[in-house]
Chain A
Amino acid sequence: MIFLLQKTLIFAIPLLIVALAGMYAERSGIINIALDGIMIFGAFMGAIAAFGLRKSTFFVDHTQLLFLICLLIAAVSGAVFSLLLSFSAINLKADQTIGGTALNLLAPAITLFITKVLFNKDKLEMETAVDSAGKSRDFGFAMLNGDLNPVGQVFFDKSYISTFLAVFIFIVLSVWIYKTKTGLRLRSCGEHPQAAASVGINVNRMRYLGTTISGALAGFGGYAYVATVANGTAEGTVAGMGFLALAIMIFGNWKPVGIAFGSLLFGFLKCLAVTYNKSLIQPLESHAWMQNLLANSEGFKTFYEAIFKNMYFYNLIPFITVLIVLAFTSKRSRAPKAEGIPYDKGAR
């Protein structure tokens, strides 16, 4: 169970931060369907940096410092990459779905192209390196505290530094968008840009701000994904995480609390699918009544074997759960009113 929760936390963090990225863009009025692409690009740039910097023993000794630098580089490159979207969507008033789709195509193409040319490989793996003490170090956990109490273990054992940083950023930015003047202005541009402009807010600048923050967060999330969930392998895909984050954002009703709940729930169910044997089947079958049931009822046993011992069943659960919850909560769902509509000064 502790293992499952640890995994959940690790898996939910990229989702959480990237869903917040989507929220920032959409609250400012830009649909950022390019989250997936930005994640890939940010992860790639971070991985390149890690690849290069790990040649020096100083950074191998200070793995956590390197981790932070790579996260920063990933965030910056994500922000820069998202400027492509802002430029097309804000300056040229191009369709945001097309721009986003283009970035989603561009990111894997460019990363794979460069990886292949520079390293003659299809993916970039951050292998172990030897530190100054002669020990081989991989790209690892910030802390290992196997002797803590169970609750402490979930948060502080086998945890990554990106987890704490992401939670911190998530809280700061969630408060920021609701409690500051700029945050309010940014949100107003996603609801009614003309009204915002009438009180002197520079809509284009606000939208640039929203999309750039979004890009930075997505880049951060991309590297966090690659360094933690994907075990340090950067390739031309993040397994659709960006799209899932988009789904989580809509699921969370464009609000931080909803997003946090959604990503934890989804992360939990997703990790259950990976660890169901250890975390569900084994505890269940250790009970006597379960063993009795299985021994006595042949029909139940076949059913149980076919469904409950099947990986695909658990894989389906998170997606179906989200779908069902969406159907029930759709009445309360409310997207930013002006999202996806290019800002036109003259429109009413």
Chain B
Amino acid sequence: MRNQASETKKVPFFRKPAVQSIVASLICVLGGLLVGFIVLLLMAVFSKDIPVSEAFRGILIVLSGPIAAGNPKDVLFTCGNMLFTATPLIMTGLSVALAFKTGLFNIGAPGQYLMGAMGSLLVALSIPQGTMPAALIWILAFLAGTLLGVLWGAIPGFFKAKFNVNEVIVCILTNWIAANVVSWVFYANQEKFVNIAETKTNFIKKTISNGVSTATFGLDKLFANSYLDVSIVIVCVIAVLLYVMLNKTTFGYELRACGYNRNAAKYAGMNEKRNILLSMAIAGGLAGCGAALWCLNGQQDFKWNTYQSLPNVGFNGIPAALLASNNPIGVIFSAIFLRYIDTGGSYLPGETSFNEYVSQLIIAVIIYFAGFSKFIKDYLKKKQMKKETAATIAGDFVKNPERPIGQTASEQSAAPPPEAPAPAGPGSGEETAETASAADVPAEGKDGDGQ
């Protein structure tokens, strides 16, 4: 697609792959909202207690997100908290997206997140205040969280690379191992870390108690004393760096090549095992880093006895990544969007007979539709192709002599030219990438798990 673009110089706006991805995502979002609205309407119609008008009010509240808070000050406060809670979600979204790009399904983000939280809390609370500057403790804690995340992500990567064990199963197992290890570590050191100042002893001390907290640079004041701190900026920078790494560096190219076709990548001389391991390790690091940023805010409670449950923010990274078609920059927006809908939903119980789970339902439907985005994009393309082939059938043939007249780009990509090993040639590799970008979660285990 890119080759084509450079040849023809100017691609019509709606034919740009990026634009089509965004259009497809928007269609998914609209579809999700529509289904959500229909569910509310059905509920209202079939229930005697709920007037039909409440369905309209309900969907409007969900749509208005933090604006539903009412007066400007509350809206600002809610906005700030929405952005702050989006921070770890962006990180787990990036974690999942990066793994997807390498053809791996990182369902282990919850475990990596827990380990990251443990690492940062242990360091931030165990170095006594005053022995070194708080900023240094912050940096050490941040690194510790990230490092534990890296370690936890590397386990599935190692098992996949070394033993060819399906990464999904190892991720599931490591999630529960992490949940128990974290609980155990804090259980064994209760008197040091558990917050006994509050009546319940479910939570770890806030890091602010040791003077460690993320700098806010006035962001919290800007948003009416919300929790927002500079971590949202850090996260955006990380997303951009990840985008550059994936799309502009050799290493990123290798990772993506592994995602498109592992065997072809190996054939082209890439060390696919190393790439798998590194990809999972970085993905783990991203999730751990998200947890560290959340914990080091200073004001947050971390529930330590977590052996029976896994943090939702880890699993929600999956929809965040899928909605963004695994584009790191897109993850920022999709994660904030998810939090936006959630925030709107949280006002439902107070104002209507509905409840906050509507927003989860909408998100689920959006993701369901996101699976169709390849279908939608192909459809969009086909429609344009039809229009164009009628008008410029001759011109098109001159520009693309290889492509038989009437065949659409998607059909072409579905059956790649037999002479090129797919990812090695930038042309054909790129083409598959763009047409399948939303759905480029390569099927796990298609190359046979095991010999």
Q: A74-116 interface mask toward B, CB cutoff 8 Å, 1 = contact, 0 = none?
A: 0000000000100010001111111101110110111011001
| Contact indicator B358/A113 (Cβ below 8 Å) | yes
| Contact indicator B448/A337 (Cβ below 8 Å) | yes
A335 at the interface (CB under 8 A from B): yes
B-side binding surface: helix, strand, loop or mixed?
helix
Q: Which chain A positions have C-beta within 8 A of B164? A: 330, 333
Q: A310-348 interface mask toward B, CB cutoff 8 Å, 1 = contact, 0 = none?
A: 101101100110110011001111110111110010110
| Contact indicator A240/B172 (Cβ below 8 Å) | yes
Complex alpha-carbon distance, A331 and B165, angstroms = 9
| Contact indicator B364/A97 (Cβ below 8 Å) | no
Complex alpha-carbon distance, A226 and B267, angstroms = 49
Interface residue range, chain A: 35 or more
Q: Which chain B positions have C-beta within 8 A of A236? A: 357
Minimum CB–CB distance from B172 to chain A (whole Å) comes to 5
Minimum CB–CB distance from A37 to chain B (whole Å) comes to 9
Q: Beyond A105-B364, A323-B173, is A98–B439 a contact (Cβ under 8 Å)?
A: yes
| Contact indicator A315/B180 (Cβ below 8 Å) | yes
Minimum CB–CB distance from A122 to chain B (whole Å) comes to 9
A244 at the interface (CB under 8 A from B): yes
Counting from the closest, the 7 A-B pairs by CB-CB distance are: A340-B443, A94-B371, A333-B450, A102-B368, A105-B364, A106-B364, A109-B360
B363 at the interface (CB under 8 A from A): yes
Minimum CB–CB distance from A40 to chain B (whole Å) comes to 12
| Contact indicator B450/A31 (Cβ below 8 Å) | no
Besides A97-B105, A243-B107, 5 other A-B contacts (C-beta < 8 A): A92-B375, A95-B374, A117-B43, A334-B450, A335-B450
Residues of B within 8 A of A (CB): 39, 43, 47, 105, 107, 159, 162-166, 168-170, 172-177, 180-181, 183-184, 187-188, 307-308, 310, 318-319, 322, 353-355, 357-358, 360-361, 363-365, 367-368, 370-372, 374-375, 414-415, 439, 441, 443-446, 448-451
| Contact indicator A335/B371 (Cβ below 8 Å) | no
Q: Which chain A positions have C-beta within 8 A of B163? A: 326-327, 330
A250 at the interface (CB under 8 A from B): yes
A-side binding surface: helix, strand, loop or mixed?
helix
| Contact indicator B170/A88 (Cβ below 8 Å) | no
Complex alpha-carbon distance, A243 and B105, angstroms = 13
Complex alpha-carbon distance, A337 and B451, angstroms = 11
| Contact indicator B177/A320 (Cβ below 8 Å) | yes
* Chain B residue with Cβ nearest A346: B415
| Contact indicator B448/A334 (Cβ below 8 Å) | yes
* Chain A residue with Cβ nearest B443: A340
| Contact indicator B355/A88 (Cβ below 8 Å) | no
| Contact indicator A326/B360 (Cβ below 8 Å) | no
| Contact indicator A102/B180 (Cβ below 8 Å) | no
| Contact indicator A106/B358 (Cβ below 8 Å) | no
Complex alpha-carbon distance, A335 and B165, angstroms = 10
Q: Which of A99, A319, A326, A347 is close to B176, meaning CB atoms less than 8 Å apart?
A: A319
Q: Beyond A88-B372, A335-B449, is A102–B365 a contact (Cβ under 8 Å)?
A: yes
* Chain B residue with Cβ nearest A26: B445
Q: Which chain A positions have C-beta within 8 A of B374? A: 93-95
Q: A30-74 interface mask toward B, CB cutoff 8 Å, 1 = contact, 0 = none?
A: 010100000000000000000000000000000000000000000
| Contact indicator A101/B180 (Cβ below 8 Å) | no
Complex alpha-carbon distance, A323 and B169, angstroms = 9
Q: Which of B43, B188, B354, B360 is close to A306, meaning CB atoms less than 8 Å apart?
A: B188
* Chain A residue with Cβ nearest B362: A109
A12 at the interface (CB under 8 A from B): no
Complex alpha-carbon distance, A117 and B358, angstroms = 11
* Chain B residue with Cβ nearest A330: B163
| Contact indicator A109/B355 (Cβ below 8 Å) | no
| Contact indicator B183/A344 (Cβ below 8 Å) | no
Q: Which chain B positions have C-beta within 8 A of A334? A: 448-451
| Contact indicator A346/B168 (Cβ below 8 Å) | no
| Contact indicator A105/B363 (Cβ below 8 Å) | yes
* Chain A residue with Cβ nearest B310: A240
Q: Beyond A117-B355, A322-B173, A346-B415, is A316–B180 a contact (Cβ under 8 Å)?
A: yes
Q: Which of A244, A320, A332 is close to B172, meaning CB atoms less than 8 Å apart?
A: A244
Q: Which chain A positions have C-beta within 8 A of B183? A: 312
* Chain B residue with Cβ nearest A116: B355
Q: Which chain A positions have C-beta within 8 A of B364? A: 102-103, 105-106, 109-110
| Contact indicator B361/A327 (Cβ below 8 Å) | no
A148 at the interface (CB under 8 A from B): no
| Contact indicator A340/B446 (Cβ below 8 Å) | yes
Q: Which chain A positions have C-beta within 8 A of B169? A: 246-247, 250-251, 326
Q: Which of A94, A101, A306, A331 is close to B439, meaning CB atoms less than 8 Å apart?
A: A94
Q: Which chain A positions have C-beta within 8 A of B107? A: 243
* Chain B residue with Cβ nearest A244: B172
A175 at the interface (CB under 8 A from B): no
Q: A220-238 interface mask toward B, CB cutoff 8 Å, 1 = contact, 0 = none?
A: 0000000000000000100
Q: Which chain B positions have C-beta within 8 A of A93? A: 374-375
| Contact indicator B444/A340 (Cβ below 8 Å) | yes
| Contact indicator A331/B172 (Cβ below 8 Å) | no
| Contact indicator A344/B414 (Cβ below 8 Å) | yes
* Chain B residue with Cβ nearest A93: B375
